[in-house]
Chain A
């Protein structure tokens, strides 16, 4: 026997009602789905307003405003952002936006260059047969795929020369590499969505109805 309070039972039923309401869309659009969708959007919006207000405005600015004067600059920039709501002085909002774009670019340009460009280039430059010719057959094949895939992929994105002849054939190999990558990504996405669905199905049959042993 399961020991839950009234509100515990109520919560499980509400969760089941909303879960089934969302999936009812698979049959066809209906008022149950529309209600569930509206509840989800409303709760999400409300939740994020509260989180952002208490964690950012209250938790960071209001609590620390006396200790760190720099926070006032952030608050003023935030206030300037709200000027968008007044059409006549809406141009003021461009200044904080420009600050955000500039600061983010400056801060993250080196990070992206180091982590997503230089490190990846470094990983691509490798001895084909391993250190001291110690690579196995599978590793050599893997290395070859990386070399060919990188080279042909880059050729595909070289648009200054017409994709004809040997150059065009190399670019087509690059397209195949890209398509296989997109296929793998799509496969992973399907796997992820299935996992989420399995989670809800498990909730329905195990936690709600108790039908799974």
Chain B
């Protein structure tokens, strides 16, 4: 059979099975699947054995193609989502620092949360946002959110809706304008932070919904950063944590905790202090592991905790293929030397 025909048959089967699964979901024919601990263990053993088999084949100079590597990564990411195994999560001092910043506040304190990311970074940052907002609600803190990225305010609204639904709260429990306000997006990047240092109102004349600044009880007495008790920045790039540190922390002295994508976290780590010497940041949540840690501290188990098993599986597969790749590389080098090339 020609490759093209096989591809078309596989594609047709995928479409049919997808339609079946979707119709089944809509009509309640199935409610999803979950593997028991025993099945999960068997799957893990099979995966490990197959990797050993690939290693043996590599030693026999039979190399696997890149598509096999992609397939393994896909399988390693997907299967743990169906498993009922809880991965232990150890909370780092950096994440504890962000949480401690909230714990130290009195009820009614004002927390400024800047949503500087868009849906592309949501898998890492949205769980952090939900955990932080959930803890603010739990501790009766006033939440003032804004975005230096155009889609940040929408992410804030989605995070609040999700966390309120999970906590079984309604709009009467978290009153807009009194307990929470969304100031919306403001273009200008770091210059927005600078202007906020002298006047919030000069940058945000109204909120996300168009309500004038002075008509919102939660912020009408907030002039600048001196009226903010704690700030959290959730960032996926520029403008983000670096700008908040440079302007907000170093120029206006705000107390800042940060949540970053894993890509950005290493560039932000130098702003962290030590146990003895506080740094420019009080705490840092880095990537999905940071999100899982804050979920653990806030007792709001969400997607980051669920995804950590997939993350760990994927890392194991990546490490395994790094080893296999190195074996292939060094064997290739040895063979070249033997041939005198």
Contact = CB atoms under 8 A, between A and B. Distances in A.
B262 A188 contact: yes
Interface in A79-132: 108, 111-112, 114-116, 119-120, 123, 126, 130-131
A209 B77 contact: no
A166 interface: no
Given A2-B25, A120-B270, A188 B74 contact: no
A65 B122 CA distance: 36
A188 B284 CA distance: 14
Nearest to A196: B123
Contacts of B310: 194, 198, 201
Interface string B67-108: 100100110011001100000000000000000000000000
A211 interface: yes
A52 B307 CA distance: 35
Interface stretch (A55-63, A156-164, A170-178): A55-63
A149 to B, nearest CB: 12
A114 B261 contact: no
B78 A201 contact: yes
Nearest to B123: A199
Interface stretch (B41-49, B164-172, B275-283, B328-336): B275-283
A119 B250 contact: yes
Contact of B28 (A1, A26, A108): A1
A180 to B, nearest CB: 11
Given A191-B288, A192-B287, A205-B81, A213 B34 contact: yes
Given A195-B124, A198-B307, A198-B311, A185 B266 contact: yes
Interface residues of A, number: 53
A195 B250 contact: no
A2 B73 CA distance: 31
Interface string A139-161: 10010000000000000000000
Interface stretch (B16-24, B136-144, B218-226): B16-24
Interface of B is mostly: helix
B246 interface: yes
Nearest to A190: B318
Nearest to A48: B150
B274 A139 contact: yes
A210 interface: yes
B246 A111 contact: yes
18 contacts: A1-B28, A55-B186, A55-B187, A119-B279, A126-B277, A134-B276, A135-B276, A188-B262, A194-B318, A198-B288, A198-B314, A201-B81, A202-B81, A202-B303, A205-B82, A211-B25, A211-B30, A213-B82
Interface of B: 18, 21-22, 24-28, 30-34, 67, 70, 73-74, 77-78, 81-82, 120-124, 150, 185-188, 190, 245-247, 249-251, 261-263, 265-266, 270-271, 273-277, 279-280, 286-289, 303, 307, 310-311, 314-315, 318
Given A59-B187, A188-B262, A195-B262, 14 more contacts: A2-B26, A111-B251, A116-B246, A119-B271, A119-B280, A189-B262, A191-B311, A194-B310, A198-B81, A202-B123, A202-B307, A205-B78, A213-B31, A213-B82
